[in-house]
Structure 1
Amino acid sequence: MSEPIRQKGFVIHPGFLDRAAQVKLVARLREVLAIAPLFTPRTRRGPMSVRMSAAGKYGWISDTRGYRYDTQHPDGMTWPAIPDEVTAIWEAVSDCPRAPECCLVNWYGEGARMGLHRDEDEADLTCPVVSVSLGDEGLFRMGNVERGGRTKSIWLKSGDVVVMGGAARLAHHGVDRIRFGSSTLLPNSGRINLTLRVVT
């Protein structure tokens, strides 16, 4: 694991998870998705390119009525518990006394992206958002609190962890594209991104 990289308030931990830890985590996530399958969120502009699920007390729902945290999967089941391996990452890097209440599971297939956005629907903004990358590399863009202005980008690799707290807590960020097939972690390629957050 390399020394953390700090850019625009974002703290990036390259190689935080070694290959064995990544393989184990993917196996645990398969258990999560067996209970709460991936679904395609929709916005008023149409379906998102990223598929999604969650673990923890809350998940994130987006449909024609808007977006919100919810205690149930769109199919009606409660979300499965956050795996211990994921909680351990939060405890190691977040510097937050509270436990995460939500772990979003985003799956990026070929051509998927995530536009610049802010995570601002949580009640306690003193708690960071922690992001974990698994699988194919993703071009992560770091922006500013206000929309617009100069941004910086970095390719996140499998096993990298990003902490968005302090000055970066309300900063815009997104994933412009992935290098499909750049990792052998997932049998059919693609990228999994976990984001941990305190909701209430």
Structure 2
Amino acid sequence: MGTGDLFAEFDQGIMPLAEGGVILRGFALDEVTGLFADILDIASRSPFRHMTTPGGYRMSVAITNCGDYGWITDRRGYRYEAIDPATSKSWPAMPSSFLALAQRAADMAGFPDFWPTCCLVNRYEPGAKLSLHQDKDEADFAAPIVSVSLGLPATFLFGGARRNDKARRFPLNSGDVAVWGGASRLHFHGVDTLAGGTDSLTGPYRFNLTFRKVR
């Protein structure tokens, strides 16, 4: 399905982000309970932690990973590693539920044959945010990014190819899935400061699954 077809289906829950990018409203809503159980299992083996950026900034978002690789940051820089530095073990395997959802969403957005090798799991608490950034630590940019929201609602910021391009604001609810690739693969994006609240499943948190093909 091409991007033009997706734009025509706006009233069916598909919202355009940019060329090559869409939000699939409620796409994972029926799966959030199982996805959350898988998140808890992953975190029991590779716990959430607040990583430090190369500049020494402590991230307000807590992070863990699953899959062949995990994304990490510390004083040495941003990168992917096959071993979790907190446990000295491989990251937990990507659950089949995660992989199937990511592939279905990518296919719906016009990116068939998506095989992510990393799922970055972010945990937001009220006051946490993610500044505008590019996902550019992967070996190539042919594959899209697939991002799944669970728990508290948030405001997704999606800009352009330059940091100073004006970012548009999109509300994200639990079960929404954003996919971007092609012309918008390296667009800057982020998450505005999370407001307080309580979700019936995740409590005071928002979780985000970001699927990437590292190499």
TM class, shorter-chain normalised? over 0.9
C-alpha distance in 2, partners of 1:92/1:64? Answer: 36
Q: Deviations over 1:52-93 (max 9, x none)?
A: 000000001111111110011122111011111111112112
In the alignment, what sits opposite 2:93?
81
By percentage of residues, which structure has more helix?
Answer: 2
Matches within 5 A, 1:96-175: 96-175=112-191
Task: Say whether the 8 Å CA contact 1:54–1:102 is kept in structure 2.
Answer: yes
The answer for unaligned runs of 5 or more in structure 2 is 1-10
Task: Say whether the 8 Å CA contact 2:94–2:119 is kept in structure 1.
Answer: yes
User: What code does the residue aligned with 2:31 have?
Assistant: A
The answer for unaligned runs of 5 or more in structure 1 is none
Describe the SS at the equivalent of 1:167: helix
Task: Say whether the 8 Å CA contact 2:144–2:182 is kept in structure 1.
Answer: yes
Q: Percent identity?
A: 39
Task: Say whether the 8 Å CA contact 1:158–1:183 is kept in structure 2.
Answer: no
C-alpha distance in 2, partners of 1:126/1:182? Answer: 37
Matches within 5 A, 1:1-12: 2-9=12-19, 10-12=21-23
C-alpha distance in 2, partners of 1:46/1:126? Answer: 30
C-alpha distance in 2, partners of 1:161/1:118? Answer: 18
In the alignment, what sits opposite 2:48?
38
Runs of 4+ in structure 1 displaced over 3 angstroms? Answer: none
In the alignment, what sits opposite 2:82?
71
C-alpha distance in 1, partners of 2:132/2:57? Answer: 17
2:195 is the alignment partner of 1:195: no
Which residue, out of 54, 68, 89, partners 1:57?
Answer: 68
Normalised by the length of structure 1, the TM-score is 0.94
Describe the SS at the equivalent of 2:113: coil
User: What code does the residue aligned with 1:28 have?
Assistant: D
Which residue, out of 86, 90, 113, partners 2:102?
Answer: 90
Cα distance, 1:28 vs structure 2: 1.1
Cα distance, 1:2 vs structure 2: 4.1
Q: Alignment RMSD, CA only?
A: 1.5
Describe the SS at the equivalent of 2:103: helix
Cα distance, 1:99 vs structure 2: 1.4
Describe the SS at the equivalent of 1:26: helix
Q: Deviations over 1:20-51 (max 9, x none)?
A: 41011101111111111111110113211000
